[in-house]
Amino acid sequence: MAVDTLIHRINDYASRADPYPLYAELRRHRVARQDDGAYLVGTYHEIQALLHDPRISSDGRNRIPPERIEPEDDLPPSFITLDDPEHDRLRRIAMRPFGPPHTPGRIDSLVGEMAGVARDLLTGLQGRDVVDIVDDFAYPLPVTMICRLLGVPREDETRFRAWSEAIIASFDPTPGEDPAVRERAGLEARGAMGQYLGDLADTRRGHPADDMLSAYVEDEGPDGRFTRPELMATGVLLLIAGHETTVNLITNGTLTLLRHPEWLERLRREPALMPRAVEELLRYEPPVQMLPLRTPLADVQVAGTTIPQGAPLTLVLASGSRDPVRFDDPDRFDPAREDNRHLGFGSGIHNCFGAPLARLETQVALTELLAHLGGARLVEDPPPYRRSPILRGPRHLPVALHG
Ligand code: HEM
């Protein structure tokens, strides 16, 4: 059994711009036991099997020793960290106003509005020599759309941007900072955001608008309604997901296309290829690099190694999506790739709830970007990255528009 410090090297900020050689090393181990007793898995078929295995829990309370149980005044866990049957009930209630079977067409109906937001942002950049693709474009678009869907006033964005950053930082390994202090700040931010969303939902009771918070308080399906704490926890999950993920797909996509000018030109000429290009980006530069919070409920055999019950288990999705056993020439960016069943949105019961929204936003964003920004070039390569090894993407992406 390999004892290793691979996770320290992956977490090291120096690896952020290019973690892929470390993932290749991980795949050679197949299952890599770390010096702290955690296990990493980075091969495609093993990750898929574990994501579909009911013995693998998403609930940290199944760790040995258990993860700290949150104090009573905090929010209950959101469904991303629960197992079935609770997960299934909450996910179904959450999905009701968002997509099929109850609300098919909800996301597709937003395409015109999405393109309008993207075009307005790009028009605002005209005349500038250098723009930051992150702050000027990739961040505001998905945030505007998730606020619109949930029914959150866009002008409160600065408040929940700060909460969102504190929540994300709380599960990041930043050396030199006290993890307990960071965790407390994250829990406080989650509580504050939940309270804000709960209060907002209360204002919709009896006065519904065309948004998800209204549907959550007014509408009732076969699974019943959320309790107020459940609504708060779910609202936080959706708002965070809308803030911290698609921004990286749009930015990683812009960076990748600027590094592959032949594809950039082709997609500008043939925007119908964009959906496939977005799938390839989810494989090649995925925003969610790993799922660090799984726990086996029993001893589980993986590729000849026993992962013991209760051990922390991390599934490195970005490594699985570059596994040569599954994908031909996996380190090549190839939007024409056939059979691209990447792990970018996970798999199994927790597969990404927001995938249709994230896909459409990114397709629209990149299509509009290519149509508006002729002659753009990178100012810095690699650009400065965000700290997180889990939600990975550039913090800024400066691009020169002229000359
Ligand atoms: C490119 C953008 C996105 C990526 C790469 C992404 C990726 C993922 C991944 C890998 C998972 C699986 C987590 C796990 O198995 O533990 C997941 C779950 C989830 N995502 Fe996304 N996501 C994106 C955008 C969004 C958006 C915009 C929303 C909100 C509308 C969203 C909502 C969720 C939720 C609620 C879950 C939990 C599902 C469950 O536990 O059943 N995601 N996402």
Give the position, in ligand 1's atom list, of the atom nearest the Cα of 79. Answer: 40
Contact (Cβ atoms closer than 8 angstroms) between residue 156 and residue 183: no
Phi, psi of 294 (to 5 degrees): -85, 155
Q: Whose CA is nearest to atom 43 of ligand 1?
A: 352
Residue 139 and residue 141: Cα distance in Å, rounded?
Answer: 6
pTM to 2 decimal places: 0.96
CA-to-CA dists, residue 345 to 127, 166, 282, 356, angstroms: 37, 23, 8, 10
- Please check whether residue 11 is in contact with residue 174, taking contact to mean a CB–CB distance below 8 angstroms: no
Q: Which of 245, 282, 390 to mutate to test the pocket of ligand 1 (most atoms within 8 A of CB)?
A: 245
Distance of CA 371 to the CA centre of its chain: 26
The number of beta carbons lying within 10 Å of the beta carbon of residue 152 is 23
Q: Which of 90, 353, 360 to mutate to test the pocket of ligand 1 (most atoms within 8 A of CB)?
A: 353
Neighbours of 316 (CB within 10 A): 28
Which residues does 50 contact at the CB level (< 8 Å), separation at least 6? 41, 56, 294, 300, 302, 313, 315
Which two tokens mark 183? 């965790």
3-state SS assignment for residue 295: strand
**Helices within 288-380 (DSSP H only):** 317-320, 355-372
| Residues forming beta bridges with residue 130, ordered by sequence position | 400
Q: What angle do CA 70, 73, 78 make, to 5 degrees?
A: 55
Distance from Cα 124 to the centre of ligand 1, integer Å: 30
CA distances from 32 to 172, 281, 302 (A): 20, 26, 11
Six-digit token string for 287? 């925003």
Dig out the tokens for 150 from the structure. Answer: 């949930």
Both tokens of 15, joined, read 């690896």
What integer pLDDT is reported at residue 296 of this predicted model?
Answer: 98
CA–CA dist 162, 158 (Å, integer):
7
Among 189, 292, 204, smallest CA distance to 236 is for: 189
Given a contact cutoff of 8 angstroms between Cβ atoms, the answer to whether 274 and 362 are in contact is no
End-to-end Cα spacing for the chain: 55
Tokens 């408040």 belong to residue: 159
* pLDDT number for residue 238: 96
Q: Which two tokens stand for residue 296?
A: 């086996």
Q: What is the C-alpha to C-alpha distance for residues 340 and 350, in angstroms, rounded to an integer?
A: 19
74 and 187 in contact (C-beta within 8 Å)? yes
Residue to probe by mutation, ligand 1, list 352, 360, 361, 364, most atoms within 8 Å of CB: 352
Tell me the two tokens of residue 199.
């209060």
Ligand 1 atom closest to Cα of residue 82 = 40
Return the pLDDT at 256. Answer: 98
**Amino acid (1-letter code) at residue 373:** L
Residues 239/211, Cβ–Cβ less than 8 Å: no
For the stretch 203-251, pLDDT in tens is 999 999 999 999 999 999 999 999 999 999 999 999 999 888 999 999 9
Whether residue 56 has its Cβ less than 6 Å from ligand 1: no
CB 288 less than 6 A from any atom of ligand 1 = yes
**Encoded tokens for 246:** 């698609």
Distance 149 CA to ligand 1 centre (A): 16
Q: Ligand 1 centre and the CA of 345: distance in Å?
A: 6
Q: Is 250 in the pocket of ligand 1 (CB under 6 A)?
A: no
Q: pLDDT 10s digit of each residue in the chain, 403 long?
A: 455 789 999 999 999 999 999 999 999 999 999 998 999 999 999 999 999 999 999 999 999 888 765 554 578 999 999 999 999 999 999 999 999 889 999 999 999 999 999 999 999 998 899 999 999 999 999 999 999 999 999 889 888 888 998 888 887 766 667 778 888 888 899 999 999 999 999 999 999 999 999 999 999 999 999 999 999 999 999 999 988 899 999 999 999 999 999 999 999 999 999 999 999 999 999 999 999 989 999 999 999 999 999 999 999 999 999 999 999 999 999 999 999 999 999 999 999 999 999 999 999 999 999 998 888 999 999 999 999 999 999 999 999 987 5
Query: For residue range 13-52, what is the model confidence (pLDDT) as tens digits?
Result: 999 999 999 999 999 999 999 998 999 999 999 999 999 9
Query: Phi/psi at 196 (nearest 5 deg)?
Result: -60, -45
Q: At what angle do helices 274-284 and 355-372 cross, to 10 degrees?
A: 110
Identify which of 100, 85, 383, 376 has the alpha carbon closest to the alpha carbon of residue 251.
Answer: 383
**pLDDT at position 72:** 47
Question: Which positions ≥6 away from 9 have C-beta within 8 Å?
Answer: 15, 22
